[in-house]
Structure 1
Amino acid sequence: MTRAIEEPRNARSRRSRAALLRAAREIVEESGVAAATMAAVAERAGVSRRAVYLHFASRADLMSELFAYVNEVEDIEGRFAAVGDAPDAATALDEFSRAHAHFMARILPVSLAVEREARTDPDAARHWETAMYWRNATNRALIRRLADEGVLAPGWTVDTASDMLLALIANGVSATLFDRGWTPDQVGEHMSRLLRSTFAAGAGTRT
């Protein structure tokens, strides 16, 4: 009987937590990180401020959880699964390009807001630091695979290629192309051509 009671309560708690994180994301996308106060999130979610603190000990905790929430909602693991499953490093670049373009089309508003305020808002800075850590890790794994397979283009080291890849997938690049009317499919296709021609020796371009 106790378990039957606890399970609905846990389900309600998860729904309430998700509603608060969804409200926080909406506020960040619309008005920036600074606007996502505990009071504003409570109001957007239609709950009391006390209810927010039942789930998040502080605004910093809320912003930290927002990073994981966005990745979960946008299925980052599923979107990028084909990268790890690719038969070779050059194909992995293709899969990464496509997955990144579609992922950025979904998360760019919140990512731009966080990046913009990272220098002035400590909570945004922590969120951005986490995002950059994972971008760096993903980039390095891709470039390391090229090197391990002996197809990293001449003139590059794992370090320099990883840094350049980080620059090529920066928020500003995606924002510029989307503003120019490019679709995620177009961004992914041309990014694939760019990454292959830049980093993969003798791999050619996608057909």
Structure 2
Amino acid sequence: MSAMAREIDAPRNARGRRSRSALLRAARELIEERGVEAVTMAAVAERAGVTRRAVYLHFRSRGELINELFGHIADTEDLPGRFAAVDDAPDGVAALEEFARAHAAFMARTLPFSTAVERVAHADPDAARHWETVLYWRNETNKALIRRLHDEGVLAPGWTVDTAADMLLALTSNGVIRTLLERGWSVEQVGAHMARVLRAAFTAG
């Protein structure tokens, strides 16, 4: 490709990324305000101020649009940055505590969306595929944390990596976090007390 062609393509690509981001943002807003049921290609187009044809230029189907929201939210909420302290922690126990605080902060930002998707995942195939992706990555993250405790010899007796990872998934579920926030807990309180619970549950000594 010539230098001139690259210069021409660059603005087009930038406009395409902005348009795609605007559509994903519109879909997220609809889900948070009215639920997954409200998301149609027409509704997203109306919210974003474009034609329905413009939506189809970026997404072949409603399912593709909803599934792409996983990566969109990870990017807009800076998922790697929020959880960087977990990877940088000096040991598994510290990583578990950092995870509790980071998870609380992230969930406070994304809980309306996540709850809306979980609520209809049993009945909406598009929501089901998105929720399956969410659970997969949550479980992979949890297993990595628990495996680190195990490999460092500090996983509490009675747990296997799999059973501890499953329990961690339950303890950090939407329902638990939502209950605490609805009870008036601050995000900082949720993170701090969750760190205590996880340390007490999963670490020896």
TM-score range, shorter chain: over 0.9
| TM-align CA RMSD | 0.7
Partner of 1:115: 118
Partner of 1:146: 149
2:19 to 11, 16, 25: 16
TM-score of the aligned structures, taking structure 1 as reference length: 0.96
Partner of 1:83: 86
Describe the superposition over 1:101-128 as per-residue Cα deviations: whole angstroms up to 9, x where unpaired: 0000000000000000101100000000
Alpha-carbon deviation of 1:2? 2.4
> Aligned to 1:39, what secondary structure does the other structure show?
helix
Task: Tell me how far apart the structure 1 counterparts of residues 32 and 77 of structure 2 sit (CA, whole Å).
Answer: 15
Q: Which runs of 5+ in 1 are unaligned?
A: 203-207
> Aligned to 1:138, what secondary structure does the other structure show?
helix
Task: Tell me how far apart the structure 2 counterparts of residues 61 and 160 of structure 1 sit (CA, whole Å).
Answer: 33
Partner of 2:177: 174
Partner of 1:60: 63
Partner of 1:93: 96
Number of residue pairs aligned between Structure 1 and Structure 2: 202
2:105 to 99, 102, 107: 102
Task: Tell me how far apart the structure 2 counterparts of residues 188 and 3 of structure 1 sit (CA, whole Å).
Answer: 47
Alpha-carbon deviation of 1:3? 2.1
Q: Which runs of 5+ in 2 are unaligned?
A: none
Task: Tell me how far apart the structure 2 counterparts of residues 139 and 194 of structure 1 sit (CA, whole Å).
Answer: 15
TM-score of the aligned structures, taking structure 2 as reference length: 0.97
Task: Tell me how far apart the structure 1 counterparts of residues 5 and 139 of structure 2 sit (CA, whole Å).
Answer: 46
Alpha-carbon deviation of 1:82? 1.0
